[in-house]
Structure 1
Amino acid sequence: MLYALNTEGKLQSLYQMSKQEISAIKRQMFRCPTCNEPLQVRAGLKVIPHFSHPPKSDCASMKKGESLEHETGKWALYEWLFEQGYEVHLEPYIEEIQQRADVLMKHNGKKLALEYQCSTIPIREVRKRTAAYKKIEVFPLWILGMKHFQRSGPEQILLNDFIRSFLYFWHNSYHLLFFDTSSKRIIRVSHIRSIGMRQNYGSIHSIPISEALFPNFFFQTTLQIH
């Protein structure tokens, strides 16, 4: 994993740290934010720097098999919101629905769960998670990884049934949200309209995450999941 709790109980990330910085913290004590087990810093010429559990650990975070893109994306979104002064939590477990959000935040007194979806999962699972959040009045904000961003022209994007399950509706049109961890850009596809089986027109707007302010980029008015 790319982040852990330091001795002050704050999240520490290896994301974008230099070799010298990583070497300097190797002897410090870190704990897993999920299970509270001690972690070690692993870094070398052939491995991406990360925090490692003991070999026989039974931590739930080890069983998820998350990709580097997913871990990096979650941390970047958490850090982006934290730096804007929001009350935000990384991977909190929500007991009421027995579900762990990627990022949980508060905005104008309301809770939002940001889910960074890189892999393809059953559509019924997307609907189940969405319904569970809505049941406890947490708004689910699904943001897709770039594997799902299939552009077929300057203003054309390919959509299958899985990607359509993440459509949002506001300003009388449909929208999709993406995050590119490599370029650190948030992408919003707006005013989506179908022109064929998978072909769709849409206005594609991309902005560096460092220049995007929440909620300006996501919410221009009330947002509803389709």
Structure 2
Amino acid sequence: MFIAKNTTTMAYIDANSANVIDKYECPGCGEPVHLKKGNIKIAHYAHKQFGQCHVSTEGESATHLQGKLALFQYFNDRYDEVKLEPWLSEIKQRPDLMVRKGTTWTVIEFQCAPITIESIRERMAGYRQLQLQVIWILGEPYQKKRIQSSTMAKFATLHRKELKIFFWHAQEGIYYKAWWQIDHRKPVNRHKKVDNQVQQLFKIQQAIIQARPQVCAIQKQLYAQNRNVVGIPWICHPAYSLPGGLKIPQWQVTVRIIMLLEHKPITIDAMYQHLFAQEWHEFGCLKLADVQKLWLECFLNDAIKLEKIQFINSRFQLAGTVSWFDNYHDKLKAFQENR
């Protein structure tokens, strides 16, 4: 940590300004801390018995310390005010940084080490009590390997109507990737077509051959209607990437929405109820309902722009009859003819 309390003056002192002959304590747990100040390592404080502190949840590695200082300078050049390790006495938490632009304060949590989703949720609960915006930024250790979807869900933030994960790199500074950019492993613009609908169709065919349980459940339902999974309408393969967060392929949700709309027009609340029943990742920083609402909003907006769905009298309905297909080849041919 960089900030500790002088036990004599009770003032909060940053490690660079601290005197080695004075005594200091942790602002969170009140336990004694050592001032570590030399010519090689960054000046910082360390608990004499770290395990007794419930405020600090990760060891102060050199990467973490250097990153916090770098972020402090980065934000100091861009924001009206920056606080390093401020102590929030109301909730007994100490974020890595807080930045202010105008009257709005944002908490910055810089994460380098592994952390449980329960710990993240606990911190977020405290920040929500103070109605603070929060952004988690992942350090370079998280960038050296492929990030799993479960990890993405821990740290994802809603930013400008996208599900994003923020990163810090010593050379690049702060950058972010939307969930679907990481998921698809190639950067594309939100308003640019994904152009992978044919690939989606091929994956469905593979899933049927492999008899995957989730696909078989949908197939059973469609058989009763004299339909098959491969022949689902092309509207079920969105032309634009949706925000993400699902544990299952998005077509498994979109086809169910289309089938609901074929039955009758439905309200947005009815759609939400249907969406909530699907399989989603566990989120740490976000409320799952907010992720689901964003996903549905993006799907409906795109479908309305493509004139496949209409919103009339407070209900969503199909804009016309959707085409189902008998087999893979007929469906692919229709796609190619309409390009």
Normalising by structure 1, what TM-score? 0.60
The aligned residue for residue 82 of structure 1 is: 76
The aligned residue for residue 165 of structure 1 is: 154
The aligned residue for residue 216 of structure 1 is: none
**Superposition deviation, residue 162 in structure 1:** 2.2
Please list the CA deviations of residues 9-49 of structure 1 after superposition, one character each: whole Å capped at 9, or x if unmatched: 87465xxxxxxxxxxx99887875845989666436xx535
The aligned residue for residue 164 of structure 2 is: 175
Q: Distance in 1 between matches of 2:180 and 2:49?
A: 48
Amino acid at match of 1:162: T
Q: Which of residues 183, 189, 194 is equivalent to 2:177?
A: 189
Q: Distance in 2 between matches of 1:28 and 1:81?
A: 29
- The question of 1:112 aligning with 2:85 is answered no
Q: Which of residues 140, 144, 147 is equivalent to 2:138?
A: 144
Please list the CA deviations of residues 105-157 of structure 1 after superposition, one character each: whole Å capped at 9, or x if unmatched: 22221221100011111112112211221221111110011222256xxxxx6
Unmatched 5+ stretches in structure 1: 14-24, 152-156, 205-223
The aligned residue for residue 246 of structure 2 is: none
Which is richer in strand?
1
Q: Which of residues 89, 98, 101 is equivalent to 2:95?
A: 101
Sort the Cα spacing of 1:124 and 1:41 in 2 relative to 1 into closer, same or farther, 3 A: closer
Sort the Cα spacing of 1:10 and 1:174 in 2 relative to 1 into closer, same or farther, 3 A: same
**Superposition deviation, residue 62 in structure 1:** 8.9
Q: Is the 8 A contact 1:189 1:203 kept in 2?
A: no
- The question of 1:43 aligning with 2:32 is answered no
Sort the Cα spacing of 1:31 and 1:73 in 2 relative to 1 into closer, same or farther, 3 A: farther
Q: Is the 8 A contact 2:3 2:45 kept in 1?
A: no
Sort the Cα spacing of 1:189 and 1:73 in 2 relative to 1 into closer, same or farther, 3 A: same
The aligned residue for residue 220 of structure 1 is: none
**Superposition deviation, residue 187 in structure 1:** 2.3
Q: Distance in 1 between matches of 2:165 and 2:49?
A: 40
Comparing 184-193 with 92-101, greater Cα deviation is found at 184-193
Which is richer in helix?
2
Q: Secondary structure at the match of 2:180?
A: strand
Sort the Cα spacing of 1:80 and 1:29 in 2 relative to 1 into closer, same or farther, 3 A: farther
- Indicate the structure (1 or 2) with the bigger Cα radius of gyration: 2
Please list the CA deviations of residues 35-85 of structure 1 after superposition, one character each: whole Å capped at 9, or x if unmatched: 5989666436xx535356697899959995311111111111122222345
Q: Secondary structure at the match of 2:175?
A: strand
Amino acid at match of 1:119: A
Sort the Cα spacing of 1:110 and 1:194 in 2 relative to 1 into closer, same or farther, 3 A: closer
Normalising by structure 2, what TM-score? 0.43
Amino acid at match of 2:174: I
Sort the Cα spacing of 1:26 and 1:113 in 2 relative to 1 into closer, same or farther, 3 A: closer
**Superposition deviation, residue 202 in structure 1:** 3.8
Question: What is the count of residue pairs matched by the alignment?
Answer: 185
The aligned residue for residue 154 of structure 1 is: none
Q: Is the 8 A contact 1:34 1:59 kept in 2?
A: no
Give identity over the alignment, percent.
Answer: 20
Q: Distance in 2 between matches of 1:125 and 1:57?
A: 17
Q: Secondary structure at the match of 1:97?
A: coil
Amino acid at match of 1:118: C
Q: Secondary structure at the match of 1:95?
A: coil
Sort the Cα spacing of 1:34 and 1:193 in 2 relative to 1 into closer, same or farther, 3 A: same
* Aligned Cα root-mean-square deviation (Å): 4.2
Q: Secondary structure at the match of 2:155?
A: coil
Q: Is the 8 A contact 2:139 2:168 kept in 1?
A: yes
Q: Secondary structure at the match of 1:175?
A: strand
Q: Distance in 1 between matches of 2:173 and 2:180?
A: 20
- The question of 1:68 aligning with 2:62 is answered yes
